[in-house]
Chains A and B, each alone.
Chain A
Amino acid sequence: MRLRKGFTMRKIGTDHVIVPEGVETINFNKLMSLNGSACYLWESLQGKEFQEEDMAKLLTDRYEVAEDTAMIDAKKLADHWIQTGLIDE
């Protein structure tokens, strides 16, 4: 999977938010607020093909978290991004 084109991360107030930009995502009527680890993953995965395992590895590289916990979190986030339309599978 890949992060879909036409989205960028912006800081609005105290939030880091994924916002649609350009004509292709003109009908995407949502803003997604990200926590710290989701921001980190978003920036790290830009322009790359990845699987959930890659997301989990990024989390364990950066945070003190067990592999199985990282895998659960990665899967949850990936599912959420797929459902929201931020990922091309």
Chain B
Amino acid sequence: MTIIQTFWTLLQAGLWQKSLPVLDSPLSKEEWQGIFDLAVKQSLDGIIYDGMMMLPEEQRPDRILQLKWYGRVNNNVQVHSLLNRVLVEIVDKFEEEGIPVLLLKGQGNASFYENPQHRQCGDIDLFIGTKNYERACRLIKDWGMNNAEESGKHLHGEWHGAHIEVHRFAAVLHNPAKQRRFVKWSEEMLNDRSNTFIPSTETQPVPILPPVFNVFFVFYHLLHHFSSSGVGLRQFCDLARLLHVYHGKLNLNELEKQLKGFGLMRQWQIIAYLLVHHIGLAQEECPFYKDTGRLSEEMLRIVLEEGNFGYYAENRERKNTSYIGRKWEGFMIHTRRSRRLIRIFPCRAIGNYISVVCRGTKVAIKSLFNHNNKKI
């Protein structure tokens, strides 16, 4: 069994916790290190750890690696406690101010796992919508948000030890007509706050997205990050777990309508193939499944290379010291990546490429203009 085959075996065991993993033969110390490194790269330390712990003791890694691995998993559990506490507190505060909030992904996604506290933590993303956004930003700054910074889509900063993003929009689509359609749909979701979960270390429910929108959003978020900088397997696991838990309860007509309406059915099917063939989602639980083997496997190759949010991608480091030099390097990195993506998601790759190049050029011109003005 190769390292990657073992990785998939342990991932499926840890994620679904249905059947015990079976290894052909014990792994060497170096092979275990390879599995661990891959788990970290894909932000799946906890899930692969769970799979590993389902092995007979004699097949597990050596003592030192087990302890190191456990340390990471345990720290993640602690971070869950912190995030859950902060989440309940901030949702409460906004609701007291009459601002409805929906939690996007993060702790909400974790609640769909067999062992929520072993899903790698991120931050807290709160969807506020356009109507209350400005007021929500003012309030959270008054409540002591540190290092608050704003992009067009959200305000982000640190609050009570957690990184929080307050979203005006749940997502941003490049196509203006599709963005208008998406904003309208997402704003309607703020009226339906009947879907909740109770964070594992708390007693108060937190509202999350309704099922169809939740599935669509998690899928789109995965696609968006893959198309821009990169995405890890954690996001695939999130989507698989949602589909598993929602199986039999999801309005498939509505989901199909939205995927086709946004022109994303083909992209869905490419990702869905990976959920079934690698993440281990049962095919009957995967809506609109289609055999897109070659394209999906190409996508997976990129995901495995680049890791969580593309942090581990090679040749991403900019070595040039001059501003223009670094901008050029960034342009070449983006061009090389886009050439790979165009085989899988051609329209998306082209649209994204044009958007990033235009944005980067505008920023570069503005910076150079400001720099020259300062000189004068």
Contact = CB atoms under 8 A, between A and B. Distances in A.
A19 B67 CA distance: 10
Where chain A touches its partner, the secondary structure class is loop
A26 B63 contact: no
Q: Which 10 A-B pairs have the closest CB atoms?
A: A26-B78, A13-B66, A23-B82, A31-B71, A12-B70, A23-B81, A19-B74, A13-B63, A31-B67, A26-B82
Classify chain A's interface size. 10 to 19
Contacts of B66: 12-13
B74 A22 contact: no
Nearest to A26: B78
Interface in B82-129: 82, 85
B67 A17 contact: yes
Interface string B70-81: 110011011101
A15 interface: yes
A21 B77 CA distance: 8
Interface string B114-155: 000000000000000000000000000000000000000000
Contacts of A22: 78, 81
Contacts of B60: 13
B75 A29 contact: yes
Interface string A4-24: 000000001111010111110
A60 interface: no
Nearest to B60: A13
Interface string A23-45: 10110011101000000000000
A14 B67 CA distance: 10
A23 B117 CA distance: 13
Interface centre among B70, B71, B78 (most CB of A within 10 A): B78
Contacts of B78: 20-23, 25-26
A14 B63 contact: yes
Contacts of B85: 23
A15 B57 CA distance: 13
A15 B82 contact: no
Nearest to B62: A13
Given A23-B85, A26-B82, A13 B75 contact: no
B67 A33 contact: yes
A21 B74 contact: yes
Given A22-B81, A26-B79, A13 B67 contact: yes
Interface centre among B71, B79, B161 (most CB of A within 10 A): B71
A12 B161 CA distance: 29
12 contacts: A12-B70, A13-B57, A13-B63, A13-B67, A17-B70, A21-B77, A23-B82, A23-B85, A23-B161, A26-B75, A26-B81, A29-B75
